[in-house]
Amino acid sequence: MLNYAATPPLAAMAETDSRQLIAAELRSLIARIEISMRLIDAAMEPEDDSAIVSANLGSTEIVVLDDVTPRYATASAALNACRAELARALQKLSESGNSA
């Protein structure tokens, strides 16, 4: 967990500086979310496609129970929604900076 005890309060900074700091933090969060989404995508990919194909050719009685993919898909959707909202917040912040 990060320790923000030594972080100077935003109220003591110039408005432009605090806006830039907030924008940088939003961009950082967006990048971290994108990394998490790539990790989830990689975890959902089958490790060996050839094993699945050969198993499917040999029998029609194969049933694959996958209880992890729905949870990964749900987590990915939640991260996608977070990323969209953070991007929206970043856009609103940049719009408020242009009007000043």
Residue 80 lies in a domain: yes
Residue 32 lies in a domain: yes
Residue 29 lies in a domain: yes
pLDDT (0 to 100) of residue 100: 46
pLDDT tens digits, one per residue of 39-88: 999 988 876 554 455 555 555 666 555 677 888 999 999 999 999 999 99
Mean pLDDT of the chain: 78
- The domain containing residue 80 runs over which residues? 19-42+74-100
Q: Is 10 in contact with 18 (CB distance < 8 Å)?
A: yes
Residue 9 lies in a domain: no
- Average of pLDDT values for 31-43? 94
Bigger pLDDT: 11 or 90? 90
Give the number of domains in the chain: 1
pTM for this model (two decimals): 0.64
Long-range contacts of range 89-96, CB-CB < 8 Å, 24 or more positions apart?
Answer: 89/26, 90/23, 90/26, 90/27, 90/30, 93/19, 93/22, 93/23, 93/26, 94/23, 96/19
Residue 65 lies in a domain: no
Residue 31 lies in a domain: yes
